[in-house]
Structure 1
Amino acid sequence: MLKVAVIGVGSMGKNHARVYQESPNASLVALSDTNLPLAKSVADRYGGEAFQDYRQMLEAVRPDAVSIAVPTADHEQVALDALESGAHLIIEKPIAATMEQGRKIIEKAN
């Protein structure tokens, strides 16, 4: 079973959490959001451990894959950190704020 986590649990991130919770092939192990009460609320509804700091989450949980649903301006750093942890990525579109940032993510993933 694939261990998945969601970074950013606003409207899109909540949807990712719901889909993972319903999937027979995925286990939602963690969620993170800078708004910890929101992360806890989503975790209470769909499962997984809530974190405020996604880096702490990546280190503590070591998910196989991460959904990134943070503001586009933050995609690059969050994606690079997640890749560094060994996780595969699912990133809400656009992949990054600029072509250069998108290329960095793709290069790191390869």
Structure 2
Amino acid sequence: MPTESVAARYLETNASLRQKPSLTAEAGHAGTVEPEDVTALINGCLNVMRYLKMLPGNAPPVQNPVWIERIAGVTSETSGVFYPTVKRGWYVQQGMK
């Protein structure tokens, strides 16, 4: 990670280096974005702005929030293409087959 804001490639990194709050919202899957993904991002941004009183109105609570506590990279000893055995949106946990 860069230690100087001029070297930061991403907005969130730049903001963090300047000790400014930031967030990153992402949508899509494997290089594709569905209309409902875009709608979720738009509604989420608008609700954050409502919560922060930047827009009028109330932000409804998320019914079933998912907290990502850790992100890990997975590497392979061989080259190839990864084909998941579960569908997009499914929840998995360690030990599942």
Rg: which structure is higher? 2
The reply to whether TM is greater than 0.5 is no
Q: Identify the structure with the greater strand proportion.
A: 1
Q: Give the TM-score category using the shorter length.
A: under 0.3
Between 1 and 2, higher relative CO (CA 8 Å, sep ≥ 6) is seen in: 1
TM-score (norm 1): 0.21
Q: Identify the structure with the greater helix proportion.
A: 1
TM-score (norm 2): 0.23
